[in-house]
Each structure stands twice: as structure tokens, then as C-alpha cells.
Amino acid sequence: MTAALECKGIGRNFGALAALADVNLVVQPGEVRAVIGPNGAGKSTLFNVVAGAVKPTAGSVFVDGQNITGMTAQRICHYGISRTFQISALFPEMSAFDNVRLAAQGKLADRWRPIGGRQVLEQASELASTAMSRLNLNAIQDIAVGTLSHGDQRLVEVAMALSQRPTILMLDEPTQGMSIQETHRTVDTLKALLSEEKLTVVLVEHDMDVVFSLADRIAVLHRGQLIADGTADEVKENAAVQDAYLGGLD
């Protein structure tokens, strides 16, 4: 089976700092893979290398066997990778639906006609509707995003990524800053989504309860190196992981 995603020997230096060193990671189609690690471990850098926001200084990234190393984020999106956006990527005065529709449109639209024609608009609206109902966001679709709760805003970001019909969905700390109730709701919503559809997911997450309830396998980064990679039980029992976390769990 061709891996959905493969990182081979990924390195990324920032000046003298090796934020990533020889990271090898294979994610199979349909797998939900968490990437965890203490603060500064290199999780976001790895995420950004895969999504095209940061170029690696060594190694290669393959999506479904195709080498996407060093491509722009826009091009990588066309290879089936969609990531959650930062909060600042939301247009606060626009409705939740329009934010999601714009994300769908961004992928559909012709490069030379970034807004697209009527057909693109209709298609984008359909994709947005589908993504929002899959995340149970229909009730809030007409509300200006800026007035939504933090939890709803983060789910709107997931809907934006989902509307692009990715084969690999990358979630960057989807429950960050959420209350306990919002976190539970988000986990339930994501669980329902993943049980309905075989999506490949890469999840960067701090919250261990979230990781253990969503992920099939867990990769652990520490100081830019992959120190463990396995099931929840394997990772929990790994001595190197225990050491790393005793040194600075965030």
C-alpha cells in the first residue's frame, strides 16, 4: 500500500538550531495520526513543512507517492492536503457559511480568475454546506464568525479545511484555548466525522485526552527528533517518552 503521507529524513534548521533532524514518518490511508511532544519539540515546524508553509533544509515529503517537497502551500492543497487555518484567517464580519465557502472557492477557482465564475460559486456553496452539516454547524451558518464562541470558531476552521475535500486533513491543536465542555464537544464532533468517513488525519495536539480518544497511532517529537512512534499503549510505556515529558510537558 502506498502511504498517504511519508516524511523522509526531514530536517529544518533555524540558524544554529535544528528544529527538526532526520524525522521519518509514515501515515497510512485512513489513519488518524497524532504528533505530540513538549513545547518547542518541532511539532508546528513539521506541520508547516508538510503543508508547505516552511521549507525543509533536508529530506523529502511524499503524498500518495508523489514528491511535494518545497512546493507552495497552494499547490500542496491540490495534492489533497488541507490544514486548519489560524483564527486570524477568519473574516470576522462575514458569516460562518461565507468563510467556509471562500475556503472551498479558493481551491476550486481558476488560478487566473481567483473569484471564479457562477459555476464555481455554486459548487463552492455546495461544498460549504456539506462540510458544515458534517460538523453540525448548520444552526450557526448565518452568524458573523467574529461573534461566535471560540469553540465554534475553531470548528468553522475545520469546516473550511474539510470543504476543500482533502485526502489528508491536518489539524493544528483543534482544541487549543477551549473550555472543557467545548473540548468534549469538539472531540465528539470529530469522532463522528471520522467514523462516517475514512479520512487520513494528522493531528498536532497538547491535550492527551484528545490524543488518546482520536488517534490510532502517536508520534512523539522531542528536541526535533522522533523518539517514539506507535499505539497509545506503546507510547505510554516508552521510557524515552516518559523522560522527555518529565523534562517539560506543556
> Using CB under 5 A as the criterion, which residues of the chain lie in contact with Mg ion when the complex forms?
44
Q: Is 45 in the site for ligand ADP (CB under 6 A)?
A: yes
Least Å from the CB of residue 30 to Mg ion: 26
Residue 202 found at the interface with ligand ADP (CB under 6 A): no
For ligand ADP, the closer of residues 196 and 250 by Cβ is 250
When the beta carbons of 137 and 204 are compared against ligand ADP, the nearer one is 204
Q: Which is it for strands 200-204 and 17-27: parallel, antiparallel or unpaired? A: unpaired
Using alpha carbons, list the distances in angstroms from residue 203 to 46, 106, 112, 154, 180: 11, 23, 33, 14, 19
Given a contact cutoff of 8 angstroms between Cβ atoms, the answer to whether 33 and 14 are in contact is no
Residue 111 C-beta: closest distance to ligand ADP, Å: 28
Alpha helices in the chain (DSSP H): 43-51, 73-78, 96-108, 118-134, 150-162, 180-196, 208-214, 232-237, 239-246
Of positions 43, 101, 154, 222, contacts ligand ADP by CB under 6 A:
43
CA–CA distances in Å: residue 30 to residues 5, 73, 95, 114, 166: 11, 22, 31, 31, 12
Query: Which residue, 41 or 190, is less far from ligand ADP as judged by CB?
Result: 41
Q: Which stretch binds ligand ADP (CB under 6 A): 35-43, 103-111, 185-193, 195-203?
A: 35-43
Residue 119 binds to ligand ADP (criterion: CB under 6 A): no
Q: Largest Cα–Cα distance in the chain?
A: 58
Chosen residue from 41, 124, 137, 140 binding ligand ADP by CB under 6 A: 41
Question: Residue 22's closest CA among 5, 37, 12, 9?
Answer: 9
Q: Which three cell numbers stand for residue 195?
A: 467514523
Ramachandran category for residue 182: left, alpha or beta (phi over 0 → left; psi -120 to 50 → alpha):
alpha
Stretch of 42-50, 92-100, 138-146, 189-197 contacting ligand ADP, by CB under 6 A? 42-50
Indicate which single residue of 11, 29, 30, 40 sits in contact with ligand ADP (rule: CB under 6 A): 40
Applying CB under 6 A, among 16, 39, 88, 246 the residue interacting with ligand ADP is 39
Whole-angstrom Cα distance, residue 154 to residue 160?
A: 10
Beta bridge partners of residue 167, listed in sequence order: none
Verify binding: residue 154, ligand ADP, rule CB under 6 A: no
CB nearer Mg ion, residue 86 or residue 181: 86
User: Is the CB of 38 or the CB of 80 nearer to ligand ADP?
Assistant: 38
Is the Cβ of residue 16 or residue 239 nearer to ligand ADP in the bound state? 16
DSSP code per residue over 71-136: --HHHHHHTTEEEPPPGGGS-TTSBHHHHHHHHHHHHHSBTTBTT--HHHHHHHHHHHHHHHHHTT
Residue closer to ligand ADP by CB (options 83, 101) is 83
Name the binder of 42 from ligand ADP, Mg ion, none, CB < 5-8 A by kind: ligand ADP
Binding site residues, ligand ADP, CB under 6 A: 14, 17, 19, 37, 39-45
